[in-house]
Chains A and B, each alone.
Chain A
Amino acid sequence: MKILHCPINGPRPIQEFSFGGAVRPMPDPQQVDDEAWADYVFNRDGEQGIQREWWYHIASNTWFIAERNITSDQFIRTYLWNGEEAS
């Protein structure tokens, strides 16, 4: 299967990971109106091209960010949430 580079554990088969969806910064709930909040909760971009998303390495409980082209399925880079980039 496909290989994904976990920032902590290095290249692992993708079955060892769980997909966490696109990274979506939460707006301040008390500063947005209902429509903007609903947009945050439900709407997604999901367009062709590169997406920044959450991935989780199940065996080591590691959450990290991956930048991936969701059309070609190429991982560009992976890194911890506020850490450095791995390959």
Chain B
Amino acid sequence: MPFRLLKFGLEKEYSEPRMFRSPAELRDSYDVVIIGGGAHGLAAAHYLAAEHGIHDVAVLEQRYIGHGGTGRNTAIIRSNYLTEEGARFYQFSVDLYRDLARSLDFNLFYSERGHFTLAHTPASLRTQRWRAEVNKHLGIDSEVVGPEFIKKKIPEIDLNCGGHQPPIVGALFHPPGAIARHDAVAWAYARGADQGGAEIHQRTTVSDIEVVDGRVAGVHTDRGFIKTRKVISAVAGWTTSIQRMVGLRTPLVVHPLQAMVTEPFKPWLDAIVVSASLHTYVSQSSRGELVTGASLDPYELISMRSTLDFAEGLAGHMLDLFPFLGDVKVLRQWAGLCDMTPDFSPIMGTTPIEGFYIDAGWGTWGFKASPVCGYTMAHTVATGEDHPLIRAFNVSRFGAFDLVGEKGAASVGH
């Protein structure tokens, strides 16, 4: 029972402390500078302290923590990926997530709901089976299920999509699939990082990174210059600006990804539903809103603007799956930035620039990886070597034509 609540009720003055300090001064040097105050950057700061005893860390965030992808995603967490490298990586994240609320002492509303990737064609079902087999091989709970099973778990779904689409022939079912409160992950890691000694500097913009003889020497910000030998870039959709500062070339292209949310309703949908053919996904948050999204915007754009086409197309597909939702009202739509890679796998770890570590290429698959990113990036920075889980994601893989092909497992986005 929440005894914490008793404290709130009985104390005269609200005694809750700040989640994280807001230091007025930016010091002139830190051991590690993390660019990007989203869940990834904050998690890295946290694990640097918690796992490696590295406390002299600054997190530089251009706006407010979680401003980027962290606060804009549709908060789906799963590990049912296609490649061995990907599945292992995301499973590690899921394992961290399941204990995260306890270890950070913050309710993340981490809710295991079961995740369905619906297949409407034999080709899609094949891909789901491929994923299921790889998952099972690695001990991840996934299986291919038929239409009857889907209907049993989601009685309201229209398997025939009203005749507007090819009917649902099966799905990849992943029971551990979960949703969470995305902002809370940033806040909890922020507190963890802060308690570990990291300084979180919001409204601080990086204008350049000093590289001398092929290694990082410092970071120029709009609040002054910071000497440092280790920089983590964890800025997702803003990476193309940062990479230029150090002369790093990557395949990244940035597209907006839009989402929308309805008014809140009493609970009716437990599962997380994704249609691989309709490029549509929906879940019902604990607040009762339907959180829903579709595929990536079709052209490159580093802007978080919304379009009507997106809302129209997605609304149509929502009604294909759940025809009774016609009266349900959409409250708002928004967008985030997706830094896309050609193989739909991230770009992580060391780079040709000594001391510059990259955490990017998060496309439409970044939020679920927040814990494992923080964990592995912290390890990489602390030891100077890519953590085994992320070796395959090194930026050098493109030069080696060694792509890690996840296109069949990213829910939507292509």
Binding site for B on A (CB under 8 A): 1-2, 15, 18-19, 21-22, 34-35, 38-39, 41-48, 51, 53, 70-73
- Contact: A43 with B240, CB < 8 Å? no
Known contacts: A15-B309, A35-B399, A38-B399. The answer to whether A47 contacts B299 by CB under 8 A is no
Sorted from nearest, which 8 A-B pairs have the closest CB atoms?
Answer: A19-B299, A42-B398, A43-B249, A42-B251, A46-B240, A38-B399, A46-B253, A47-B240
- Contact: B300 with A46, CB < 8 Å? yes
- Contact: A53 with B298, CB < 8 Å? no
* Chain B stretch 308-326: residues in CB contact (< 8 A) with chain A: 308-309
Bound together, the chains give a CA A34 to CA B400 distance in angstroms of 9
Binding site for A on B (CB under 8 A): 240-241, 244, 249-254, 298-303, 305, 307-309, 342, 398-401
- Contact: A18 with B298, CB < 8 Å? yes
Residues of the B chain whose Cβ atoms lie less than 8 Å from the Cβ of A15: 309
Q: Which of A22, A43, A73 has the largest number of chain B CB atoms within 10 A?
A: A43
- Contact: A45 with B240, CB < 8 Å? yes
The DSSP consensus for interface residues of chain A is mixed
List 28 A–B pairs whose Cβ atoms lie within 8 Å, in order of A's numbering.
A1-B308, A1-B309, A15-B309, A18-B298, A19-B300, A21-B253, A22-B253, A22-B300, A34-B399, A35-B399, A39-B249, A39-B399, A41-B398, A42-B251, A42-B342, A42-B399, A44-B250, A46-B252, A46-B253, A46-B302, A47-B241, A48-B240, A48-B241, A51-B300, A71-B302, A73-B301, A73-B303, A73-B305
Residues of the B chain whose Cβ atoms lie less than 8 Å from the Cβ of A51: 300
The DSSP consensus for interface residues of chain B is loop
Which of A2, A43, A46, A71 is in CB contact (< 8 Å) with B398? A43
- Contact: B244 with A70, CB < 8 Å? no
Q: How far is the CB of B407 from chain A (nearest CB, A)?
A: 15
Q: Which of B303, B342, B399 has the largest number of chain A CB atoms within 10 A?
A: B399
Q: How far is the CB of A21 from chain B (nearest CB, A)?
A: 8
Residues of the B chain whose Cβ atoms lie less than 8 Å from the Cβ of A41: 398
Residues of the B chain whose Cβ atoms lie less than 8 Å from the Cβ of A53: 300
Residues of the B chain whose Cβ atoms lie less than 8 Å from the Cβ of A42: 251, 342, 398-399
Bound together, the chains give a CA A53 to CA B253 distance in angstroms of 13
Can you add 10 more A-B contacts, CB < 8 Å, to A42-B398, A71-B303? A18-B298, A38-B399, A39-B399, A46-B240, A46-B254, A47-B240, A47-B244, A48-B302, A53-B300, A70-B300
Residues of the B chain whose Cβ atoms lie less than 8 Å from the Cβ of A39: 249, 399
- Contact: B303 with A72, CB < 8 Å? yes
Bound together, the chains give a CA A71 to CA B303 distance in angstroms of 6
Bound together, the chains give a CA A71 to CA B254 distance in angstroms of 10
- Contact: A44 with B252, CB < 8 Å? yes
Residue of A nearest to B297 (CB): A19
Residues of the B chain whose Cβ atoms lie less than 8 Å from the Cβ of A48: 240-241, 302
Residue of B nearest to A19 (CB): B299
Q: How far is the CB of A54 from chain B (nearest CB, A)?
A: 11
Bound together, the chains give a CA A41 to CA B399 distance in angstroms of 9
Bound together, the chains give a CA A1 to CA B308 distance in angstroms of 7
Q: How far is the CB of A61 from chain B (nearest CB, A)?
A: 18
Bound together, the chains give a CA A19 to CA B305 distance in angstroms of 18
Known contacts: A38-B398, A43-B398, A70-B302. The answer to whether A1 contacts B307 by CB under 8 A is yes
Q: How far is the CB of B237 from chain A (nearest CB, A)?
A: 10
Residues of the B chain whose Cβ atoms lie less than 8 Å from the Cβ of A34: 399
